[in-house]
Amino acid sequence: MLNKKGAMFGLDARIALVIFGALSVISGAALYSAIQQAKVTAFVADMEELAKSIEQYYLDTGEILAVSSGNPSMDLGVDGLFNKPANVSNWNGPYSQLSQRNAGAIDYNSGTITIPYRLVDSPTACTVGTKKCRIYIWFAKSNSINFYKSVEKFVDGTENPSDTSDNDGKIIYSTSSMFYKTDIIINNLN
């Protein structure tokens, strides 16, 4: 007489393995998605903190950050957020916990952050005598287009690459970089 219990056990084990495998794939995808969302949330929080740092520097010193020596016609320097500038009183920094790369840039997540200033709600550079300029935070990191899309969707609720006419949103991105629009307006750039 043949014992058929063993054969059924083998089939049951294979069915259980298929079920556990499917559950592993589903939970792995959910975990990956949660990790990516955590990175986006952390990035946005860091950009908001950097904007607050720039504003606090201004509130303490009564001055905007000095222009960048590397790109004086378009960027503010970041050195004042980390080191007391000469001839600036009431400096209570450092204002940022991020890592300074040089006087004009911050290292962030294997990428670079600079602080450009542009005409309010326009990608056009400000010039001396311009009445109102907005401070942006510019982030560049290669191969990050999907990250930029996720940040814009999280912040603005949409995905509009290279949409420089999108004045309502805080994020403008292209394939190689992203602008984060702060609420900081500079009046009468000198």
Quick one: average pLDDT of 102-118? 84
pTM: 0.76
Does the pLDDT value for residue 166 go beyond 50?
no
**150: nearest Cα among 135, 171, 167:** 171
Q: Which residue has the higher pLDDT, 174 or 57?
A: 57
**How far apart, in whole angstroms, are the C-alpha atoms of residue 91 and residue 126?**
26
Of 159 and 85, which is predicted with more confidence?
Answer: 85
Q: Which of 146, 137, 141, 150 is nearest to 176 (CA)?
A: 141
pLDDT(164) > 70 = no
pLDDT of 91 above 60: yes
> How buried is 94 (Cβ within 10 angstroms: 0-12 exposed, 13-18 middle, 19+ buried)?
middle
Domain that holds residue 58: 5-187
pLDDT at 57: 92
Mean of pLDDT over the chain: 80
Q: How many domains does the chain have?
A: 1
Residue the block writes with tokens 């962030």: 108
**More confident of the two residues 59 and 8:** 59
Predicted local distance difference test score (pLDDT) of residue 21 = 80
Per-residue model confidence as pLDDT tens digits over 27-72: 777 787 888 889 889 989 999 999 999 999 999 998 888 887 777 6
User: What is the model's pLDDT at position 20?
Assistant: 78
Residue 96's nearest CA partner among 115, 75, 110 is 115
pLDDT grade for 107, boundaries at 50, 70 and 90: confident
Max avg pLDDT among 40-49, 71-80, 104-113: 40-49
**172-187 mean pLDDT:** 84
d(CA 75, CA 135): 9
